[in-house]
Chain A
Amino acid sequence: MDWSIAKILMQDGIVTGVIYALLAVSLVLVFAVTRIILIVQGEFVTYGALSFALMADNQVPGNRWLLVTGGVLVFLRELWLVFRGKPAATLLGSALFCLILPLAVFFAVPAVLATEPSLWIKALLALLLVVPLGPMLYKLAYEPIAESSVLALFVVSIAVHFAFVGMGLVFFGAEGRLVSEPFFDGQLELFGLTWTYQSLFVIAMTVVIIVALWLFFGYTLYGKALRATAVNRRGARLVGISTSMSGFLTFLLSSIVGVLSGIMIVSFISLTYETGFMIGLKGFVGAIIGGLMSYPIAAAGALLVGIIESFSTFWASEYKEVIVFGLIIPVLLILSVTSRHDEEE
Chain B
Amino acid sequence: MYASLLSNRYLTSRLIPLIAVAAVALCVALVVTVVSVMTGFLDMLKSSGRLIVGDVIISSGIGGMPYYDEFIGELKSLPDIAGATPLIDTIGLLRMPYPRGDQKEIAQVQVWAVDPISLATVTDYANDLYWRPAANDAAAQAMADDDPRKHIDAAILRDGQTLTQSATGTPGICLGMHVSVGNARQKDGSYLPRYGWFMPGQNVTLTVVPISSQGKIAEPREQIFPVVNEVQTGIYEVDRNRIYIPLTEGQRLLRLDEAPVFDLSAEPDASGRYPIVAQAPARVTKILVRAKPGISANEVREQVDRAYAAFSLRINQDRREHKRQAAMPDFVNILTWEQQLRDLIAPVEKEREMMRVLFSLIYFVCGGLILSIFWSIVIEKTRDIGILRSIGASRFGVMWIFLRYGLVIGVLGSGLGVVLAWLIVRNINVIHQAIGSDAPPAIWIGSFVLTGICAACLVVYAWKGKLLPILLWLLGTVVLAAIATALMLHHGTLIWDPSVYYFTMVPDQVDWFTAWTTAVGGVIFSVIGAAIPASKAADIDPVEALRYG
- Our verdict on whether A and B bind, yes or no, reads no
Chain A interface (Cβ < 8 Å from any Cβ of B): none
Chain B interface (Cβ < 8 Å from any Cβ of A): none
